Amino acid sequence: MARSKTRRWMDAECAQLSALADEFFTREAVPRAAKWEAQRHVDREFWTLAGGVGLLSCSVPTEFGGSGGSVAHDLAVIDAQARVTDYAFGGAVHSGVVTHYLLDYGTDEQKRRWLPSMVTGETVGAIALTEPDAGSDLKALRTRAVRDGDDWVLDGSKTFITNGSIADLVVVAAVTEPGAGSRGISLFLVDARVPGFTVTRVLDKIGQHGSDTSELSFVGVRLPASALLGEPGRGFAMMMEQLPQERLFAGVMAVGAMTQAVALTVDYTSQRRAFGAPLSDLQNTRFEVAECATLTEVARTFVDDAIVRHLDDSLDLAAAAMVKLWTTDVQGQVVDRCLQLFGGYGYMREYPIGRLWVDARAQRIYGGSNEIMKELITRSLLPTPARRG
């Protein structure tokens, strides 16, 4: 298990929570990982276990059933999860994304309905933005919500939805004013029990097998006016406001995975013998470990600085894109180099390093692909090219 480090954005309470999360995931998640991989989802029991010890939606105020923490507390939990286990548990989406949409845009009634049970794990949250024909291009959504009296009627489909098959609450992006572009998108809080909502299938991914990622269908889903999150037509703006934080979580998970990979490699190469001596005696092994540990420390410092800026409300869209782009790229490099030192055993899924390697690949895709991150960064530096044709 990777060693926990107190970070400069952590106060004493955050550090204590990090230690609690470290111990919890080691005790409760690691032994269940094989079962989750086989069934392609995390047991609901685990969600309530995590909620019971205060590891879900830590930012929720006490008046809505939470502990009154901040996003730093949510980050401390996800950091511990990434250092100890894999991506099976969709806590980052639940606590770091869905919870904050409710906190920042929800009405008092919406918060009182959903947040207390999100804290306990009785309600699992998901967010449905991506569609089969609209990946990182959120302006190309086809899902529609049409007014019918006081209600909205929702039709469309979503894909690549984390927690999709087990979610009780899904934040759904839909076009409410066709032809209005980004100003015609709204967000809705969809109760998964509503008629017309279907989990079409759980997707068969190449990695992150324990985490359910699903396709969702909405056919004539009738929603009350109270299901609208925030103001109509502000959905795209709300997503743009929230995406920097989501990308910061991706950076935290990348650093955690790198930390875990280096720790696993140090342990393995110290015990595995080749040519009559431990692998760790070979100069190539020592240099590779040194470089991977250095890259991990640089990434940690980069992410910690971004977290401090985020807590000060000074992390902008381009800076968050830089964090997501660089840390997830480096994550792939570090984990791959660590796997190489395991030889043939690194290619076996029974070894955690193999799972870390294949699980890391999605980090450069979700939350906005890394190519999109480059475009966002460039837009902050250079004029946008004129469109041709």
- At 326, list the tokens: 């660089």
> Which H/E stretch holds residue 344?
none
Distance of alpha carbon 359 from alpha carbon 370, whole angstroms: 16
Q: How are the residues of the chain apportioned to helix, strand and coil, as percentages rounded to the nearest 5?
A: 55, 15, 30
> Comparing C-alpha atoms, which of 363, 345, 362 is closest to residue 354?
345
Residue with tokens 């279907």: 198
177 contacts 201 by C-beta, under 8 angstroms = no
Rounded to whole angstroms, the Cα distance separating 374 from 97 reads 22
Reference 7, options 303, 251, 247; nearest CA is 303
Q: What is the CA radius of gyration of the chain?
A: 21
CA-wise closest residue to 171 among 147, 155, 192, 187: 187
Per DSSP, the three-state class of 261 is: helix
Distance, in Å, from the CA atom of 84 to the CA atom of 81, rounded to the nearest integer, reads 5
Question: Cα–Cα distance between 163 and 209 in angstroms, integer?
Answer: 12
Element (H, E) at 355: helix 352-360
Beta bridge partners of 146: 153
Q: How many CB atoms lie within 10 A of CB 129?
A: 21
Catalytic residue among 246, 297, 350, 371: 246
Contact 223, 154 (CB under 8 A): yes
How far apart are alpha carbons 221 and 18 in whole angstroms? 40
Q: Are the CB atoms for 292 and 337 separated by under 8 Å?
A: yes
Catalytic site residue 350? no
Can you tell me the distance from the alpha carbon of 81 to that of 75, in angstroms, rounded to the nearest whole number? 10
Nearest to 315 by CA among 325, 303, 326: 303
- Which residues form the catalytic set? 246
